[in-house]
Structure 1
């Protein structure tokens, strides 16, 4: 198969099939209900806030920063595979044909986020009278043009530097994009000359890295690693909803959390809990799963204006956190470090229960603090924290009873 256009087409079909295979487990009726409650409550709170927003609110600055950040972040989707290092070498002079299609897909797959942000910000911009219909239409056009050039700029920067210092490149593009959109949205006459000037700077920056990349060979290893990491992030996300055989776990030391761990000592009275705490803190999937769910619970307390909806929302997240932590800590029975200890197998389940209980207590405290800051000193934050802890404890005990019955 020497036609790179055909290779891209086949890989794209396989990629979309892979996405659809797992996304059908993600977008289920349960998630639709959660999204409905979240979007509805957030939209209501946003609309109520817009009624009271002062006219001097810096909406143009906020919109420029958010849209600039959304446009500046986004890696190219190449669908390259490890074997391409060998099999693409004879066709390297035709590789641009393959990469043009990858950059085109990268552009259209990354456009929805900045456009969604812009649509969400439109009521705020209209409420503060900082822009009119002309600026809105111009902004929509400029979003497309900037994203088009930024996708190619990041690609050429990565090709010239093999990805080193990519956040410096993104910072430069973020500053240029934020200034450009502020000049467009602010509606200040003396800022209009900045629009073509910033456009010229973006073009010069793009051409600079394009020329630099032409002098270097194509960095297969970097783009293949980038593609593998991108797919691994998708598999980790899908693994929250269904088992993904392609998933490879990763660990990080996280020395900054060392204060939560007692130093290892001879004659440890609870080695199972020691190992489980360390497993929870150092396993990326488990740790970031809990962090994300806890952050969502805190955001729900802060943003949702109806107490009953908050109770349901944080209760659902507490259930999800506890049940997934329990199952995650039970996994990996082929070999575990506790097998090296003269400990009975019966000590593992109580240790899992106590470990997850302690972690969920931290989640309840986080919800309590967020409630006290948002609502003030009252019984409502206490009820929120109690719901998180009670739902978690009931879930942990019910899961433990099912295990004993099995």
Structure 2
């Protein structure tokens, strides 16, 4: 394999993964999710615009923005390596440097849109608090676009030298935060010196790593983890065959997973228990739903507008319950129906009970927050329960219709 072959191999894999993403994007960016994104964007713009008119004083926004952007600036290194590469590409290790050059460029442009969005979102804040001056912000934007790529170059040399990942993230976090803060806070051009610092570290490690071998195990494991994280996200919208299910104990949820009594240890109650257990012990769905709930609560507290807050809460209730449809597929067409065959009506009944309990918990949580933020309109919390009930009713009807078609 020559240098040209190494680049061609990476391009073929990049095209393959882009094709896979285009396929799954059809399921992710469907009608209701697109509407959700548009409403979320509108709510954010409305809330952000109102907040900019009355920005709280006494808060170090430069430090907060520097900390946030330091985190987003640590781009993941995507190599697109596969498990078999440790065997079949090993004889061509001397050409892997060309492969990694393509990998570093791909990794940079893959996450660059998020960095650009952060720069755009932060601009109005610093434009207002700095008397409508923006010269320093141009310098900040340039720094925010250069540092992530230098961070990727340093990460690659760091991995080659077999250093710990946590030490790299700590070092990058300190350097990025310092550079951003010096530019945003004191508005000093010396913040650009972080570029020279990173270049110096890269050159030193590159010289040391001349005789270092390619870190196959580390790179393959890292790529597999990144790819699996993507599958976990997609699995909330459609079935992903490549996803490996995992479970986590979460002892604090044990009270809702008590072993059923003898009277309830039968086909009428088994699926309610299985759906609840899958959610409480599942590693992926639990975290995704938890993040959605946290985002919903933050928006409800931040916006402080009764009507908009009701819309946001109702929309999140709808999205969360709708995304739980994957749980039905996992249990209804999994192993248990073969071990303990029961009527599909029993499965749907258990799923219905599970969704109702989840809806009640979310409804109570959203209503409490809504009542605290808008005490005069606390009665509006009933909207969350109405949206949840209508969503569950629609989902159950659709499942019953699907099962009827399968029986025919």
Tell me if both proteins adopt one fold, taking TM over 0.5 as the criterion: yes
Q: What are structure 2's unaligned runs of at least 5 residues?
A: none
Aligned to 1:232: 228
Query: Shift of residue 362 of structure 1?
Result: 1.4
Q: Which secondary structure state, in structure 1, belongs to the residue aligned with residue 24 of structure 2? A: helix
Aligned to 1:260: 256
Aligned to 1:290: 289
Query: Shift of residue 102 of structure 1?
Result: 0.6
Distance 1:218 1:236 in 2: 29
Distance 1:348 1:32 in 2: 30
Distance 1:159 1:266 in 2: 58
Distance 1:119 1:323 in 2: 32
Aligned to 2:38: 36
Distance 1:206 1:29 in 2: 46
Query: Shift of residue 174 of structure 1?
Result: 1.1
Aligned to 1:166: 165
Identify which range, 352-361 or 266-275, moves more after superposition: 266-275
Distance 1:322 1:226 in 2: 32
* Contact 2:127–2:133 (Cα < 8 Å) also in 1: yes
Query: Shift of residue 277 of structure 1?
Result: 1.6
* Contact 1:311–1:387 (Cα < 8 Å) also in 2: no
Q: How has the CA–CA distance of structure 1 residues 328 and 335 changed in structure 2, closer, same or farther, with 3 Å as cutoff?
A: closer
Aligned to 2:65: 63
* Contact 1:364–1:388 (Cα < 8 Å) also in 2: no
Aligned to 1:280: 279
* Contact 1:371–1:380 (Cα < 8 Å) also in 2: no
Aligned to 1:176: 175
Query: Shift of residue 63 of structure 1?
Result: 1.9
Identify which range, 332-341 or 133-142, moves more after superposition: 332-341
Query: Shift of residue 71 of structure 1?
Result: 0.7
Distance 2:306 2:389 in 1: 17
Aligned to 1:27: 29
Q: How has the CA–CA distance of structure 1 residues 54 and 155 changed in structure 2, closer, same or farther, with 3 Å as cutoff?
A: same
Q: What are structure 1's unaligned runs of at least 5 residues?
A: none
Spell out the pairing of 1:62-81 with structure 2 (5 A cutoff): 62-72=64-74, 74-81=75-82
TM-score of the aligned structures, taking structure 1 as reference length:
0.85
Aligned to 2:371: 372
Distance 1:24 1:271 in 2: 34
Q: How has the CA–CA distance of structure 1 residues 124 and 357 changed in structure 2, closer, same or farther, with 3 Å as cutoff?
A: same
Q: Could you say what the CA RMSD is over the residues aligned between the two structures, in angstroms?
A: 3.1
Cα deviation, 1:321-361, whole Å, max 9, x if unaligned, reads: 33442452343445534765697775433222222211221
Identify which range, 368-377 or 340-349, moves more after superposition: 340-349
Aligned to 2:218: 222
Distance 2:48 2:306 in 1: 16
Is 1:387 the equivalent of 2:349?
no
* Contact 2:310–2:380 (Cα < 8 Å) also in 1: no
Identify which range, 150-159 or 284-293, moves more after superposition: 284-293
In the comparison of the two structures, how many residue pairs are matched? 400
Aligned to 2:6: 4
Spell out the pairing of 1:241-256 with structure 2 (5 A cutoff): 241-256=237-252
Q: How has the CA–CA distance of structure 1 residues 322 and 344 changed in structure 2, closer, same or farther, with 3 Å as cutoff?
A: same
Q: How has the CA–CA distance of structure 1 residues 105 and 404 changed in structure 2, closer, same or farther, with 3 Å as cutoff?
A: closer
